[in-house]
A and B are shown apart, each in its own frame.
Chain A
Amino acid sequence: MTDPDLIIVGSGPAGMAAASVAARSGARVLILDEQPRPGGQIYRNIGENRDRLGWLGKGYAAGTELVDDLDHPNIHCEFGATVWRSDPGPTVCWSQNGHSQVTSAPYLLLATGAQERPVPFPGWTLPGVMPAGAAQILMKTSTLLPRDAILAGSGPLLYLVAAQMIDAGTPPKALVETQTRSMAIRSARHLPRAAFALPLLLKGLGLLHKIRKHRIPRFTGATAFRAETGNGGTIQFSFDASGKAHHHECGLLLTHQGVVPSTHMTRAAGIAHEWKATQECFHPTSDLWGRTDQPGLHVAGDGAGIAGAEVAAIAGRLAARDILHQLRLISAGTRDQTSASDRGALWRALAIRPFLDTAYAPTEAFQSLTDETIVCRCEEITAGELRAAVAEGATGPRHIKTATRAGMGPCQGRMCDLTVRGILSANKTTEPPAQPRARNPIKPIPLGELAALASEPETKP
């Protein structure tokens, strides 16, 4: 497709739902996704699996329809296509099979989703320690099931992965939760509102019931995580809970502490971001339709703010209708009318967030940031080194970068930025952190590929 009306980056629920709505009202849509197949994180590989892997649950199978809807003459998808730059225009640079190209369109929807919140503790860099969502990706794409695994941390995804492992016949050896009793009590006051999102609430209760029924050993209020390599490559996992020190041996330690928006693309695109204190992360500022302060740029889905797959699909449709309106393919009246039920559904689905955000807040205790803990995985910079830099006068992430190299490796701060900010603000009053910068290219691109792109005439939209 050489002249799309709309480029969508990301084919998760947000991007897929947006494409479907936009295409069916006459817009030509180009989808770019760096994964080999559509689905995003929740529906990874659903087009191949369909209802084959029943143990992944109904919530997973629900993605089939969205993927099938991409089969439309107005939708063109490019997979294995990493967008590494976006410029006003809007224009994106993307790389596929070692070759980069430039594409422009009047509208660009960034639906790039979330990443798991990094959870540093001593030993989190060892082979055998992974995020729970990463293990889930292996389950969905390669039918690889965690062997002798312990799940540790907090959040709905931890329970979901536990339930999927149980149904697959490889239950976790233990579920070690950082949620404290007081967090559970504090979250209870949000339950009446969460009742508007009853199906989601019931789904969560169903997961917990399954975990209880299978007598998975559970620990709560756990702190002071530590992993060490044991004999034969095992992981020796220790933590404190109920005033006692616990030690467990496992083959895999799967940690999770919720997800945070992936903001490299939206930040590099110049969109204003805000700090969301209840979720302890940044997200791009947008209105109900996903419009941002940058002309032609909309955002939708978990990349616009963590709210889950259902909200992502709704937000994708809302953004698509607003773009259709701006393309003069539908009137403002049609946009509003056709969005009424989605807006109701959006309100109901969001009603569960205050409960979830309070119940599964990232606890400081979980971040067992002893001085020896590596914070920047790429450059192997420890919390102690970062604290020393702060003591020597570093006041912002850029100072920290220059003083320690933290954030200068290939991941470009994706794995350490939030922790570095936490260390910086540890001794300060609670003013919201300043918007982090992100530079293009947002992913390292081989110099040869850049040179080849520079010598090409620009592909005209």
Chain B
Amino acid sequence: MKVVSRFYRLSDAGTRTVTLTVDGTPITAQERDSLAAALLAHSAKASRRTTRLDTPRTAYCMMGVCFDCLVEVDGHANVQACMTQVREGMVVRLQSGLPEMRGRND
């Protein structure tokens, strides 16, 4: 079986959609989605690769705890996608590693 998304979206009449781009590709999301939800609804694939072992990750805890959902949003690196609401025209880039973040909490 090929996994396109790991979730079904319950059709929800009356919910407005917004369009954002992920690595240049437009995707639609529901107005109240967090960015992490929008990414998970769109694809089953990784939204980040890790610094040390270059392994794939997606959003994990959905509540701001694990930092596995980091992506680049409108030019800002290391944004927690699960704590960010989608916006029309948002420009998202999937990132590899933790640009500039290393050492900040040492």
Contact = CB atoms under 8 A, between A and B. Distances in A.
Contact of B57 (A125, A147, A446): A125
Contacts of B83: 34-35, 82
- Interface band, chain A: 35 or more
Given A126-B56, A127-B56, A168-B10, A134 B63 contact: yes
Contacts of A195: none
A41 interface: yes
Given A128-B44, A142-B32, A408-B106, A134 B64 contact: no
A252 interface: yes
Contacts of A251: 1, 3, 6, 44
B7 A147 contact: yes
Contact of B37 (A144, A377, A412): A144
A138 B98 CA distance: 25
A414 B1 contact: no
Contacts of B68: 125, 377
Given A127-B57, A138-B37, A141-B33, A444 B105 contact: yes
A147 B8 contact: yes
24 contacts: A34-B83, A36-B32, A41-B63, A82-B83, A126-B56, A130-B58, A130-B60, A138-B37, A142-B33, A143-B10, A145-B7, A146-B7, A147-B5, A147-B7, A149-B6, A233-B3, A233-B44, A251-B44, A380-B50, A380-B52, A410-B105, A411-B65, A415-B65, A443-B64
Interface string B34-66: 100110110011100011110111111111111
B45 A233 contact: yes
A417 B41 CA distance: 31
Is chain A's interface secondary structure helix, strand, loop, or mixed overall? loop
Contact of A131 (B53, B60, B106): B60
A115 interface: yes
A170 B66 contact: no
Interface string A443-456: 11011000000000
Contacts of A134: 59-63
B8 A170 contact: yes
A249 B76 CA distance: 37
A379 interface: yes
A234 B50 contact: no
B47 to A, nearest CB: 8
A372 B101 CA distance: 26
Contacts of B2: 231-233
Contacts of B44: 127-128, 233, 251
Contacts of B9: 142-145
A49 to B, nearest CB: 10
Contacts of A41: 63
B61 A115 contact: yes
